[in-house]
Amino acid sequence: MTHPKTLVETLHGRKGDRTPIWLMRQAGRYLPEYRALRAEAKNFLDFCFTPDLAVEATLQPIRRYDLDAAILFSDILVVPYGLGQKVWFEEGIGPLLDPIVDTEALKGFETTRMIEALQPVYETLRRLKQELPADRTLIGFAGAPWTLTSYMIEGGSSRDFAKAKLWAYGRPDSFQKLIDLLVDAVAAHLEAQVAAGAEVLQIFDSWAGALDSAAMRRWSLEPIRAIVTRLKRTAPGVPVIVFPRGVGTGYRDFAEAGVGDAISLDQHIDPVWARDAVQRKCVVQGNLDPRWLVVGGEGMRTAIHGILDALGRGPLVFNLGHGCVPETPPEHVAELIATVRAYR
Ligand X SMILES: Cc1c2[nH]c(c1CCC(=O)O)Cc1[nH]c(c(CCC(=O)O)c1C)Cc1[nH]c(c(CCC(=O)O)c1C)Cc1[nH]c(c(C)c1CCC(=O)O)C2
**Site for ligand X, residues 75 to 134, rule: CB under 6 A:** 75-77, 89, 94-95
Task: Give me the least distance between CB of 228 and ligand X, in Å please.
Answer: 18
- Report whether 75 belongs to an annotated binding site: yes
22 binds ligand X (CB under 6 A): no
Comparing CB distances to ligand X, the nearer of 218 and 322 is: 322
State the DSSP H helix or E strand holding residue 201, giving kind and residue range, or none if neither.
Answer: strand 200-205
75 flagged as catalytic: yes
Report the distance separating Cα 17 and Cα 180, nearest Å: 41
Count of residues touching ligand X (by CB under 6 A): 21
Q: Which of 18, 25, 126, 291 is catalytic?
A: 25
Helix (H, G, I), strand (E, B) or coil at 240: strand
Task: Give me the least distance between CB of 23 and ligand X, in Å please.
Answer: 8
44 binds ligand X (CB under 6 A): yes
204 binds ligand X (CB under 6 A): yes
Q: Which distant-in-sequence residues (6+ apart) come within 8 Å of 109 by Cβ?
A: 83, 84, 85, 181, 185
Quick one: which segment of 70-78, 209-217, 265-273, 304-312 binds ligand X (CB under 6 A)?
70-78
DSSP assignment of 45-72 equals: HHHHT-HHHHHHHHHHHHHHS--SEEE-
Q: Which distant-in-sequence residues (6+ apart) come within 8 Å of 31 by Cβ?
A: 60, 61, 64, 330
321 binds ligand X (CB under 6 A): no
Task: Name the amino acid, one letter, at 163.
Answer: K
- What is the separation of C-alpha 32 from the centre of its chain, rounded to a whole number of angstroms? 23
- By CB under 6 A, name the binding residues for ligand X: 24-29, 38, 44, 71, 73, 75-77, 89, 94-95, 141, 157, 204, 206, 323
Report the catalytic residues. 25, 29, 38, 75, 151
As annotated, the binding site for substrate includes 25-29, 75, 151, 206, 322
